[in-house]
Structure 1
Amino acid sequence: MALSDNADPKAASTAPHARPVAKAPKRATSRTAWIIAVVATVAVISLLTWQITTLTGPQRGSFTAAEAAPPAAPASVLTSYDTEAPLPDLDAVLPDLLADPRFGDNMSAVIADAATGDVVYEQNAATPLTPASSMKLVTAVAAFQTLGAGYRIETSVVEGPDEDTVVLVAGGDVAMTVDGEGYYGEGASLTELADAVLEARGGDAPSTVILDASLFSDSVNAADVPMADLAIYTAPAAPIMIDGGRIDNTQHYTQHHADPAIEAAKTFAGLLGADKTVTGTAPEGASELATVHSEPLANLVDSLILTSDNELADAVAFQTALAVEGEMTWAAIGTAHLAMLEELGVDTTGLVLNDGSGMSPSNRLTAGAFTEMLVAAAQAQASTVFESLPVAGYSGSLADRFATAEDGMGAVRGKTGTLPSNRVASLTGSLTTEDGRLLMYSLISNGWSNLDDVENAMDEVTAVIAQCGC
């Protein structure tokens, strides 16, 4: 099962350095810069105004004007969403487009007004279908609503049961790096963590590192995800990884370590000068020696949405589950995400949420639930998610899309989703019409015959809506 959502990873912003625990940065202080960004974003979106920033090529977090074909360096454009702009009459154009046989047996579509939430057009809006990677939008919104954009994941080292042993306590960070720079850009550094531990121990290297991975207590794969997919399309779930468990950190879909947590622990032990790595649990009340922190949640979500990163999506979902349900399990993800949707006023009838990545073919979501969530999220703490959506023809998993729908380039933003072996494709996000009306949309197809055809059909539908002066 090949997942087509792919792009270059984002180089994340500055993370706090490792240091002895007494000097470790606190989450509250690490969130300061992001609080400013989130407040600004919420203010902008609550006024339903987006500013388009200058693009110098494919990059994340930017809007651009719709053009017939994107130039190498799109010009800077300033546009605003007009709440007085007319709503398009899509009844005249969408029925024939959505009846296209390229969509296959089961096609659902909802287009809603971002300002009011009113549905502009719908087809099978309440039919639960497999969403594939569009599920990552639920993960992102839930994390922002629950944890906040500045949240960071902690990885700590505590004293072991004897003076020759330390315990590496995994906290769920799968974007760790060896030296501060890795697949996801900047991230928590095991080298800095090792240096901080040695400093706290007065330069004395332990002989043994115990890996405490007890925070994660479930199967390595979500419901119905084939074990074979854990080799290439994601890693076996674990509460600590380097570069998402990738053996080659220059590739998106590549071989993964069979036990990425153990690999991370062995790497840390080598950096620390320890001879042995074992598994176990930290002694109760053990003193902390040092702590490192992941990049802020906003950076992690940027990567998982823009590049459709499965490892990172599930890891973020586990953080939400831990905060809401007190445990890192697949079931806790579903419970926490459903609770978030209900809090936003989304109809959750028939929904089944098995993971955070969308790799489970037994996930079920409706196009109506997606658009209801996006409308609500735009005026909530989760509004930050819109900064991460790929731009048609320019960035992320949409950089190479819209070849047959050039009118949508720059005007459509969306999260892609594909599970080819299950005949699943989806596209969910936001777009601005030619008249300046902002719409939320979700298209889900189950049972198509040709992946390129169904993706082109989805691109064409959203492009028609974006250019609709009807």
Structure 2
Amino acid sequence: MSLSDNADPKVASSTPHARPAAPGAAGSPKPGPRRRRRVLTGVLAALAVLVTVAAAGGLVWQISAVAAPRTGTLTTPEAYPPAEPAPVLASSNADATVPDLASVLPNLLADSRLNGSTSASFADALTGDVLYEQEGTTPLAPASSMKVVTAVAALEHLGAEYRIPTTVVEGPTEDSVVLVAGGDVTLTVDGEGYYDEYAEGASLQELADLVLEARGGTAPNTVYLDTSAFTDNPKAEGVPAEDLVYMTAPMAPIMVDGGRKDNTAKYAEHYTDPAQAAADQFAELLGGATVAAGTAEAGAAELATVYSAPMAALVDSFILTSDNLLSDAVALQTALVVEGAMTWAAMSTVHLATLASLGVDNTGLVFYDGSGLSPTNRMTANAFTALLLGAASSSSSSVFESLPVAGYSGTLDDRFGTAEAGKGVVRAKTGTLSGVSSLTGTLTTADGRQLVFSILSNGATTGETAVETALDEISTAVAQCGC
């Protein structure tokens, strides 16, 4: 079982086609401005990120908080000078000394809490040199660190502003419509839902309103649900069947709140048929129409289309919170756009090809899902650091801004309790399954050198909390070693 881990334009039209083009594709509607939308072109923008491109092609990040204090009264600038912003992430220095990790990591990785198989890799973000590795080419289960692969592939192929469509077209009869599921699992019923904080998207209410407007106010009697975009097994290979209750939902190309029955809880019970639940809720908003299975006819006139939040926001959401369902949905959406098939096999093909294009050695890598929930996935620590190095100088560099900050955000907000010095210094994706723990991301040394790293632990018998604590302490010790 896995334990780990913006705009309002909704386009209505009457142009005849069965499925809308993907946002950003030729002939598709242009995404309008969104309240939370960001344009990300390789510049890391989270927490006031400054990116410096070094001569060797690497990246060095300097990050600090910029929030200013507020008062309830107006004061003149002279009477109220701004306070020095408190640092959130350690600053970096391209001229900093490269650490001698061989002098510290052997003992650190020999920690008795890591009494299973441990794969580790630490590389210099500036030069790309691997500074130290232990079993770096040994394929192990990555758990939720796998979400970094999904994020990079989505940003590489879809781009930061891509949005997932949900469309309604005319049905086979005048009193029917077809709800065409496009892969968006973040829909809400009325605009308030689980993903609002990170990835506010479209609602079924506004889709219903647009449909009624397009039909001149006449409600349909029948809503046909077209889920033909996804025809694969709703459970990825290796994922325990019981995990489809609370850890994720059976995969479907349309859901409300990620298929959760309670949209206030991450690990809420999920619907056994989340697509049907979404269609039932949509039909109710149309006045209580009957729901039936169906497929949009070729050339059917489009009545309305709504879109998810931009891909950058979806990546933020599933990386920060380690959302299994959303990361799998994004992985399958990437497969649909690149391979033309929303299947687990197509997803694997896209992910492996993406890694290869970024210079990653794919030997021994196996991908069955995009979330890391499947314990049969295989990744290496060297592949993770090579992926991060490749992403740093590519169109997916914004993945770094989505990584949780130790002691401050996401799945690292309550970590590093025994490694206080690592807070604000380590930024990484967590991963936890039974017997599997991982930590993959970036850190800044005491001298200011930026490193990327990955540590994968499989089969330790000391307990997940003990292993996670060991990973926190190892990454912190590397950051503080001054070696």
Contact 2:418/2:473 (8 A) holds in 1: yes
Q: What TM-score does the superposition give when structure 2 sets the normalisation length?
A: 0.88
How much has 1:41 moved relative to structure 2?
A: 3.2
Q: Quick check: 1:433–1:469 contact (8 Å CA) kept in 2?
A: yes
Correspondence 1:463 to 2:481: no
Shift of 1:21: 5.4
Q: After superposition, what is the alpha-carbon deviation per residue over 1:410-432, rounded to whole angstroms, capped at 9, x for unaligned?
A: 10000000112xx1110000001
- Aligned-pair CA distance for 1:78: 8.3
Residues 21 and 3 of structure 1: CA distance in aligned 2, closer, same or farther (over 3 Å): farther
Cα pair 2:8 2:33 within 8 Å, conserved:
no
Contact 2:262 2:268 in 1 (8 A): yes
Distance in 2 (CA, whole Å) between partners of 1:387 and 1:15 is: 24
Q: 2:190 aligns with which of 179, 182, 187?
A: 179
- Equivalent residues of 1:18, 1:189 under 8 A apart: no
Name structure 1 gaps, 5 residues minimum: 6-12, 57-72
Counterpart of 1:260 in structure 2 is 274
Alignment of 1:49-64 (within 5 A): 49-54=60-65
Do the aligned partners of 1:15 and 1:295 also contact (CA within 8 Å) in 2? no
Deviation at 1:469, TM superposition (A): 1.0
In the other structure, the counterpart of 2:4 is 4
1:272–1:37 distance in 2 versus 1, CA, 3 Å: same
Match runs of 1:338-353 below 5 Å = 338-353=352-367
* 1:397-436 map, 5 Å: 397-420=411-434, 423-436=435-448
2:89–2:424 contact (8 Å) kept in structure 1: no
Distance in 2, matches of 1:293 and 1:126, equals 40
Residue matched to 2:51: 44
Matches of 1:98 and 1:88, distance apart in 2: 16
| Aligned 1:78-117 pairs, distance under 5 A | 80-117=91-128
Contact kept, 8 Å, 1:425 with 1:455, in 2: the verdict is yes
Alignment partner of 1:301: what SS?
A: helix
Aligned CA distance change for structure 1 residues 45 and 223 (closer, same or farther; 3 Å): farther
Normalising to structure 1: TM-score of the pair? Answer: 0.91
1:438-459 CA distances to partner (integer Å, 9 max, x unpaired)?
Answer: 1000000001111111001000
Correspondences of 1:108-257 after superposition (within 5 Å) = 108-185=119-196, 186-257=200-271
SS at match of 1:281: coil
Q: 1:132-178: CA deviations, max 9, x gaps?
A: 00000000000000110000000000000000110000000000011
Q: CA deviation at 1:404?
A: 1.0
Q: CA deviation at 1:18?
A: 5.3
Alignment of 1:289-304 (within 5 A): 289-304=303-318
* Aligned equivalents of 2:158, 2:53: Cα separation in 1: 20
* Superimposed CA distance per residue, residues 170-191 of structure 1 (whole angstroms, 9 cap, x where no aligned partner): 0000000111221000211110
1:116, distance to aligned residue in structure 2 (A): 1.4
In the alignment, structure 2 segments of 5+ residues that lack a partner are 25-29, 68-83
Report what 1:446 is aligned to.
458
1:294-373 to structure 2, matched below 5 A, reads 294-373=308-387
CA distance in 2, matches of 1:252, 1:365: 26
SS of 1:41's partner is coil
- Contact kept, 8 Å, 1:31 with 1:296, in 2: the verdict is no
Shift of the 84–172 alpha-carbon distance from structure 1 to 2, 3 Å rule, reads same
Q: Percent identity?
A: 60
Closer, same or farther in 2 for the Cα pair 1:340/1:50, shift >3 Å?
Answer: same
Q: Could you tell me how far apart the structure 2 residues matched to 1:163 and 1:50 are?
A: 58
Deviation at 1:89, TM superposition (A): 0.7
Is residue 17 of structure 1 aligned with residue 10 of structure 2? yes
The more displaced of 271-280 and 142-151 is 271-280
**Is the contact made by 1:19 and 1:193 (CA closer than 8 Å) also made in structure 2?**
no
Structure 1 residue 274: deviation in Å? 3.9
Whether contact under 8 Å (1:15, 1:294) holds in the other structure is no
Residues 26 and 4 (structure 1 numbering): CA distance in 2 closer, same or farther, change over 3 Å? Answer: closer
Paired with 1:459 and 1:372, the residues of 2 have a C-alpha distance of 21
Segments ≥4 residues shifted beyond 6 Å:
none
| 8 Å CA contact 1:429, 1:441 repeated in 2 | yes
Query: Which letter does structure 1 place at the counterpart of 2:459?
Result: G
Give the aligned length: 445
C-alpha distance in 2, partners of 1:120/1:278? 59
What do residues 333-390 of structure 1 show as CA deviations (whole Å, max 9, x unaligned)? 1000000000001000000011100011110000000000001101100001011100
Residue pair 1:167, 1:281 contacting (<8 A) in 2 also: yes
Distance in 2 (alpha carbons) for counterparts of 1:457 and 1:39: 33
Structure (1 or 2) with the larger CA radius of gyration: 2
CA contact (8 A) 1:425 1:444 kept: yes
Say if 1:39 and 1:97 are closer, same or farther in 2 by CA, change over 3 A. closer
2:3 maps to a residue whose letter is: L
State the distance in 1 between where 2:90 and 2:116 align: 38
> For 1:323, what is the secondary structure of its paired residue?
helix
Match of 1:27 among 10, 23, 30: 23
Hey, what's the Cα distance between the residues in 1 that align with 2:473 and 2:439?
Answer: 12
Classify 1:55/1:392 alpha carbon distance in 2 versus 1 (closer, same or farther; 3 Å).
farther
CA contact (8 A) 1:176 1:188 kept: yes
Q: Aligned equivalents of 1:359 and 1:2: distance in 2? A: 6
**What's the CA shift for 1:90?**
1.1
The superposition leaves residues 276-314 of structure 1 with CA deviations (integer Å, 9 ceiling, x where unpaired) of 001111112101000000000000000000000001000
